[in-house]
Amino acid sequence: MSIKNNVSESSQLLQKYWPSGKKYFNSTDQFIKRYKNRIIVIKYGGYALTKPHLVKSFAKNIALLNQLGMKVIIVHGGGPQIENQLRKKKIKNEEYQGLRVTTKQILSVVKTVLAGDLNKLISNEITKYGSKPKRFDGIRQKIINAKIAMNGNIGFVGEPRKINKSLIQAALGKKQIPVIAPLGYDSNKNTLNINADTAAAFIAETVKAERLLLLTDVEGVMDNNKRLITELDRKKAFQYIKKGTIKSGMIPKIKACFNTLKNGAKGVALIDGRKQNAVVMEILTTKGAGTLIKK
């Protein structure tokens, strides 16, 4: 195919899936070339997964990147949906250092929400826009080998140890989009609940991703004056954690980012999942959509 035809095809895809981004189209070519055939791991969850218009926007973004020739892997959480189900069932819910304490009863809810409801929902939505998802729900299709965290003191919570890379690569080779629930399995055949940020980061390291995007429920990392920190290095990040500027669920996110950079991923960004088209803004524009994490 000629360069002219390639450009024409890219333009058509941009018009089709991201018409509101027209003002950026003149400069997208450089980013399309940069990320073509490269792996992008995206952690998806939170508010962005609770609103139908945002789910639709996300699915269109993913279909666009996939059809532009990028190798996209989605790792999804489901915190708000899990909490909603736990409230309905009147099950006590606790966190320890940003991780959900996971009893057997809670694990049952986690499995239903992640492996059943959300893995299916995301996959079905992507299919609507002409791309092919490949479901890895952690129950029928096991992909993350893990070990129980903190000696089991916080229940069935896992730390990833190994990824079945060949299954992921086989899906990417067929131009499919792996949609991965963060459920692991250990040597005793226990299902383990893994923090989605941690799972996404570990997968990004293992496959040497060009970029890891973590969708958040904030603009990015904020300072004490509620202003966006557009770039963050390791030294500054740990100062903010010490001061309490970065706290709660943002702590495992930040730690996962730096481990990922150290262990093989090329770049990490925390982006605002509450905004439509945040993924394509981050990948296809200079402006970006959140906080860039640097070594």
pLDDT tens for the chain, 295 residues long, are 444 556 688 999 999 999 999 999 999 999 999 999 999 999 998 888 989 999 999 999 999 999 999 999 999 999 889 999 999 999 988 888 778 889 999 999 999 999 999 999 999 999 999 999 999 999 999 999 999 999 888 999 999 999 999 999 999 999 999 999 999 999 998 999 999 989 999 999 999 999 999 998 888 888 888 888 888 988 999 899 998 888 887 887 788 788 889 888 888 999 999 999 999 999 999 888 889 888 7
239 within a domain of the structure (yes/no): yes
Whichever domain contains 104, its CATH number is 3.40.1160.10
Do 24 and 285 touch, CB atoms closer than 8 A?
yes
182 within a domain of the structure (yes/no): yes
Q: Output the pLDDT for position 283.
A: 95
Do 257 and 233 touch, CB atoms closer than 8 A?
no
- Cα→Cα distances 114→77, 156, 179, 194, Å: 7, 15, 11, 11
Do 148 and 190 touch, CB atoms closer than 8 A?
yes
Do 67 and 13 touch, CB atoms closer than 8 A?
yes
Q: Output the pLDDT for position 121.
A: 96
Per-residue DSSP letter, 46: G
76 within a domain of the structure (yes/no): yes
Domain that holds residue 247: 24-293
3-state secondary structure of 194: coil
172 within a domain of the structure (yes/no): yes
Q: Output the pLDDT for position 6.
A: 63
- Cα→Cα distances 214→26, 186, 219, Å: 26, 26, 11
Token readout for 279 is 């993924």
Number of helical H runs and strand E runs in the chain: 11, 16
d(CA 81, CA 205): 28
160 within a domain of the structure (yes/no): yes
Residue from 166, 154, 165, 164 nearest 192 by CA: 154
Instruction: Provide the sign of the torsion angle of the four alpha carbons 235, 240, 242, 246, taken in this order.
Output: negative
Query: Long-range contact list for 99-105, CB < 8 A, 24+ apart?
Result: 99/149, 99/154, 99/157, 99/195, 99/252, 100/157, 100/193, 100/195, 101/154, 101/155, 101/157, 102/154, 102/155, 102/156, 102/157, 102/192, 102/193, 103/155, 103/156, 104/155, 104/156
19 within a domain of the structure (yes/no): no
Buried b (16+ CB within 10 A) or exposed e, 121-143: bbbebbeebebebbbbbbbebbb
36 within a domain of the structure (yes/no): yes
Alpha-carbon 217 to chain mean position: 13
252 within a domain of the structure (yes/no): yes
Q: Output the pLDDT for position 5.
A: 55
- Number of domains comprising the chain: 1
Q: Is 61 exposed, middle or buried (0-12, 13-18, 19+ CB in 10 A)?
A: buried
